[in-house]
Chain A
Amino acid sequence: MAQWVAIGVLALLLLAAVLPGVLAPGDPLAIDPAQAFLSPRWGHPFGTDESGRDIYTRVVHGAAPSLVIGVAATAIGILLALVLGLAAALGGRVVDFGVSRLLEVLFAFPGLLLALLVITVYGPGIVTSTIAVGLATAPGYARIIRSQTRSVASAPYIEAAVVLGRSRGRILVQHILPNAVVPVFVLVTLGVGQAIVWAAALSYLGLGAEPPAAEWGAMLFAGKNYLATAWWMTFFPGLAIVLSAVAATVLGRALQRRGPR
C-alpha cells in the first residue's frame, strides 16, 4: 500500500519536473509586490512570498532542480563508488589497502561537511553542489560495492567460470558486475531521497541555487525570515522536500524487501 502511495508521489514529482507547465501554467519568477505575503487562498493555494510570487507555482517548478540534483548527485556517487569499490575488491592487496584507507579517511568527515569543503574550494552553484553531494555519498556506496564484489568473486560459480577458461573481462562484466551491483540499485533509490535533502540543505545555506530560482531549499531560506508572520513560505516547500524524500525511502525499502537477496 505505502509503496503505491510512494510511487504516486514520485510520479507526480516526475511530472512536475518534466512538464511543470501542466501542473502550474504560471511563471515561477513573476513578481507582483502588491500581492506579497498573501496567505493560502483561492488563486494562490499555497499563498504568495515576499515579492508576490505564487508559491504553488514555485514549488512545482522547484521539482526539476531538486530531482535533477538528487538523481545526478546519486549517479555521480555510484559511478565513483563503482570504480573505487571494484578496484578495491579486485585490484589486489595493495590497491585494496590504499582504497580502503582512503574511504576510511573520507568516512571520518560527515557527508555534508565534505560537500561544504568542495563548495568552499570551487564556489557555490547548482553544478558544484550536485558534484559535491555526489562526492560526499560515494564512500558509502564504494564500501558496499567492495564487500559485495568480494563475496561474489569468491562464489563457487565464479570459480566455475574461471575453471571453464572465461576471460577476466568477461567474468567481470557477465558474472560479477550484475550480482554485485544490482543490490546497490536498491540503495540508489534510498540515496536519491537523501541527496534531495542534502541539495536542499546546501541551497538553504545559500550554497546551491542562486536567487530568485525556484528551488525548495532556497525557498525555505527566504521563508525562514518570515517564519513568525508567513508560515506558508516555509511550510509548502518543506512539505515537498519531506514528501519526496519519504517517498523515495519507502520505495527503496519496498524494493529492498523484494530484492534478489
Chain B
Amino acid sequence: MTATTAILLAGCAGASPATTESTPVAGGTLTYATGFGEPTCLDPHVGGNMPQALLGTNVLESLFSQDADGAIVPWLATAGTPSADGLSWDITLRDDVTFTDGTPFDAEAVKANVEHMKDPATASSTAILALGKVADVEVVDPTTARFVLSEPDSALLESLAQTWLAMESPAGLTRSQEENCEAPIGTGPFTVESWTKQDNVTLVRNESYNSSPTGAAHEGTAYLDKIVWRFIPDPATRFAALQAGQVDVIDEMQPDNVVTATSSEDLAVLQGALPGASIRLELNSGYAPFDDERVRKAFIASADVNPGIESLFFGTVERSYSVLSTSTPYGASYEDDFAIDVDKANTLLDEAGWTTRDADGYRTKDGQRLTVDFPISTNQSIPAEQSLFEQIQATTKEVGFDVQLHPLDLSSWYASLAAWDFGVTSAIYTKNSADVLRILYDSANIQPAPSGYHPNHSHVDIPELDELLTKAGQTTDADERAAAYADAQKILSDGAYVLPLYDHLQKIGYRTSVQGLSLLPTLQLPYLADAWVQ
C-alpha cells in the first residue's frame, strides 16, 4: 500500500499550491532557513545525509524520480530495462540535457558518477550502500548505460532516484574534492553561486534548464532569480524568523508551531512522511538486559507512548505500528504486538528472573539493577520527542525498569552506538524503498561500515530473516516481494526488537506570499523550481 505523499494540513488559509489562482511571476529572491544543519560538503556523493539532499535537490538531478504513488518515473533517464536473469540493466538516457558547465549529459557521465560514488576516496556512506550490488557500468552507446550487477537488485531504480546518487558533471568531478564540495555542478534548476560558511549558500537560476521532473507544475527555467539558503539550528528562533518575515520557508517545524502556523493568515504548512523506516526505538538484543526476549516484551508492554504522542504533538503525527514509513510500500502493521499490559510486563520480568525490587522500586537480579541506557541524539530527536522519551522512562519505571536518558551530540551518540553501549535508542533512516529493512536488520549490518556506523542497532541476527530480506531484494515478482517483506516484519514484531513510534515527517512552514511550493515525492524534499514570491 502506498500512502499519499504531500499532505497539506487542513485550514491553511487556502494556500494549497495546487489550487492557487494567482499567475506565477518570475524574479525575486526566496530565503530558506533549514534546521537540518549545514553540510560539510555540498556534494551528496560524499557521506550522504539529509542536509546535503535538501540543498542538492535544487542543484542536482537523478536518473529516475517517483510519482506521488511511489511508482518509478523517468527523469534524466528515459527507461530502465533488466535482462532476463536480472543481472544487468540497460538504462537509456535523454540526449538533450547539458550540465551547467556545458558538459553534455551522456552514458560516459553516468559511468563517471557511479565510479565517483564507489571510489573509496569519495568516502560515500549512503550512495555506496545503495550501489552495493552494482559491479560496473558499461557504456553501450552515448545514450545507453548498462549497469552490471553482482546479484539481482529489485530496488536499483529506486536507489538511483535518490539525491545522494544524483548526476554531476564529469568535468566537475575531476576537480579536487574540496572544489567539488564547494559547488557541485549538476543539471538542476539552480546553480551554487557562493557559500559563506556558517551563514548561507546562495543559489542562482540555471537559465538553460530543460529537465523538469514528472509532476512539476511547469517546464523550463525556474521562476526565482535566487535562493538564499540559511542555517538556523534553534527551532524557536527559526519559527520566529518565519513569523517576522525574515525568511520565507523553514523546515523541521515543531509541533506547537505547526498548530500556530495553520491558524495564522500569513503562514502555511506543507507536510509529508519521509520514506524509509519510521521513527522507532531499537532494542539492543545483543547485550543484557535486552538479550532476553521476555525483557524486551516487558519493555514494549509497559512503554505507554500513545497519550504522549497525542499531547506532545498536538495531533500532528499519528502513532505507527510499522517499522516502515507510510510513504514506503510493503509496510505491515501488527498493532496487537504493541498493546500496553502492565500485568503481562510484570509477569514476564518475574519469569526472566528480575524478581526483587530495590529501595527505589527498580527491579534487580543477582544484586544488579534492571538498567537500560538510552542515548538520545539531540540533533535527530526534536524536543517533543525527547519529552516523549521521558514519558517512556516514567511508564516503564512502574514495572521496574531504570531507563537512563543521555542526551548527546551527534558524534557522541554515534560513538555510544558504535560501542554497543546502550540498551535502547531512537533511530531514523531515510530510503525510498522497503529494502531499508535489509540495511537495518540483516545480520551482516551488525558489523560496522568503514565509517564505524552499524545500521543494525537492534543486533538482530536471525538467518531466516536474512534469507527473507535477500529474497525480497532480488525478486522482481511483486507478490513474492510483498509476502517476504510481510513475513520479515512479522519476525521483527514477534521478537519485540523494535517499538515503532510514528512517521518521520517533513514539516515545511512557509509564508503565504510564497506560491507553488511542493515536495518532490522521492525523498519528500522541498522542490523550489515551481515556487515564486508575490
The answer to whether B387 has its CB under 8 Å from any CB of chain A is yes
A33 touches B391 (CB 8 A): yes
The answer to whether B193 has its CB under 8 Å from any CB of chain A is no
A33 touches B390 (CB 8 A): no
A228 touches B260 (CB 8 A): yes
The answer to whether B405 has its CB under 8 Å from any CB of chain A is yes
Q: How far is the CA of A51 from the CA of B304 in the complex (A)?
A: 13
The answer to whether A177 has its CB under 8 Å from any CB of chain B is no
The answer to whether A226 has its CB under 8 Å from any CB of chain B is yes
Q: How far is the CA of A228 from the CA of B235 in the complex (A)?
A: 12
Contacts of B394 in A (CB 8 A): 29-31, 51, 212
The answer to whether A37 has its CB under 8 Å from any CB of chain B is yes
- Give B239's nearest chain A residue, CB to CB: A228
Please, what's the 1-or-0 string for A199-216, where 1 marks a CB less than 8 Å from any CB in chain B?
000000010001110000
- Give A36's nearest chain B residue, CB to CB: B311
| Residues 206 to 240 of chain A near chain B (Cβ within 8 Å) | 206, 210-212, 222, 224-229
A210 touches B406 (CB 8 A): yes
B407 touches A31 (CB 8 A): no
| Residues 315 to 346 of chain B near chain A (Cβ within 8 Å) | none
Contacts of B395 in A (CB 8 A): 31
Which of these, B235, B307, B387, contacts A34 with CB under 8 Å? B307
B383 touches A222 (CB 8 A): yes
Q: How far is the CA of A225 from the CA of B236 in the complex (A)?
A: 6
B235 touches A225 (CB 8 A): yes
Q: How far is the CB of A117 from chain B (nearest CB, A)?
A: 16
The answer to whether A50 has its CB under 8 Å from any CB of chain B is yes
| Residues 102 to 147 of chain B near chain A (Cβ within 8 Å) | none
Contacts of B254 in A (CB 8 A): 225
The answer to whether B505 has its CB under 8 Å from any CB of chain A is no
Contacts of A52 in B (CB 8 A): 311
A36 touches B256 (CB 8 A): no
| Residues 106 to 126 of chain A near chain B (Cβ within 8 Å) | none
Q: How far is the CA of A224 from the CA of B387 in the complex (A)?
A: 13
Q: How far is the CB of B217 from chain A (nearest CB, A)?
A: 33
The answer to whether B308 has its CB under 8 Å from any CB of chain A is yes
A206 touches B256 (CB 8 A): no
Please, what's the 1-or-0 string for B210-245, where 1 marks a CB less than 8 Å from any CB in chain A?
000000000000000000000000011001000000
Q: How far is the CB of B378 from chain A (nearest CB, A)?
A: 7
B311 touches A33 (CB 8 A): yes
Q: How far is the CA of A228 from the CA of B308 in the complex (A)?
A: 20
The answer to whether B494 has its CB under 8 Å from any CB of chain A is no
Instruction: Name A's interface SS.
Output: loop
Q: How far is the CB of B234 from chain A (nearest CB, A)?
A: 9
A33 touches B308 (CB 8 A): yes
Which of these, A31, A210, A222, A224, contacts B391 with CB under 8 Å? A31
Kindly state the interface size class of chain B when it binds its partner.
20 to 34
The answer to whether B514 has its CB under 8 Å from any CB of chain A is no
Kindly state the interface size class of chain A when it binds its partner.
20 to 34
B308 touches A212 (CB 8 A): no
Q: How far is the CA of A211 from the CA of B257 in the complex (A)?
A: 23
The answer to whether B386 has its CB under 8 Å from any CB of chain A is yes
Q: How far is the CA of A30 from the CA of B405 in the complex (A)?
A: 16
B378 touches A211 (CB 8 A): no
Q: How far is the CA of A229 from the CA of B394 in the complex (A)?
A: 25
- Give A221's nearest chain B residue, CB to CB: B383
Contacts of B308 in A (CB 8 A): 31, 33, 51
Which of these, B260, B311, B387, B404, contacts A222 with CB under 8 Å? B387
The answer to whether B79 has its CB under 8 Å from any CB of chain A is no
Please, what's the 1-or-0 string for B388-429, where 1 marks a CB less than 8 Å from any CB in chain A?
001101110000000011110000000000000000000000
Q: How far is the CB of B278 from chain A (nearest CB, A)?
A: 20
Q: How far is the CA of A206 from the CA of B378 in the complex (A)?
A: 10
Please, what's the 1-or-0 string for A13-51, where 1 marks a CB less than 8 Å from any CB in chain B?
000000000000000011101101100000000000011
Q: How far is the CA of A224 from the CA of B257 in the complex (A)?
A: 13
Q: How far is the CA of A1 from the CA of B256 in the complex (A)?
A: 45
A50 touches B387 (CB 8 A): yes
With most chain A CB atoms within 10 A of its CB, the pick from B239, B307, B393 is B307
B390 touches A31 (CB 8 A): yes
Q: How far is the CB of B371 from chain A (nearest CB, A)?
A: 14
Taking A30-B394, A31-B394, A229-B260 as contacts, is the C-beta distance between A211 and B307 under 8 angstroms? no
Which of these, A36, A50, A224, contacts B236 with CB under 8 Å? A224
Q: How far is the CA of A226 from the CA of B307 in the complex (A)?
A: 19
B310 touches A210 (CB 8 A): no
Which of these, B236, B310, B407, contacts A228 with CB under 8 Å? B236
B390 touches A211 (CB 8 A): yes
Contacts of A33 in B (CB 8 A): 307-308, 310-312, 391
B386 touches A227 (CB 8 A): no
What 3 A-B pairs have minimum CB-CB distances, sorted nearest first? A33-B307, A36-B311, A212-B390
> Could you name 18 residue pairs across A and B whose Cβ atoms are closer than 8 Å?
A29-B394, A30-B394, A31-B390, A31-B394, A33-B312, A37-B311, A50-B312, A51-B308, A51-B390, A51-B394, A206-B378, A211-B390, A225-B254, A225-B383, A225-B384, A228-B257, A228-B260, A229-B256
Interface residues of B (CB under 8 A from A): 235-236, 239, 254, 256-257, 260, 307-308, 310-312, 378, 383-384, 386-387, 390-391, 393-395, 404-407
Given contacts A31-B391, A51-B308, A211-B386, 19 further A-B contacts (CB under 8 A): A33-B308, A33-B310, A33-B311, A33-B312, A34-B307, A34-B311, A36-B311, A36-B312, A50-B384, A51-B311, A51-B394, A210-B405, A210-B407, A212-B390, A212-B405, A225-B235, A228-B236, A228-B239, A229-B260
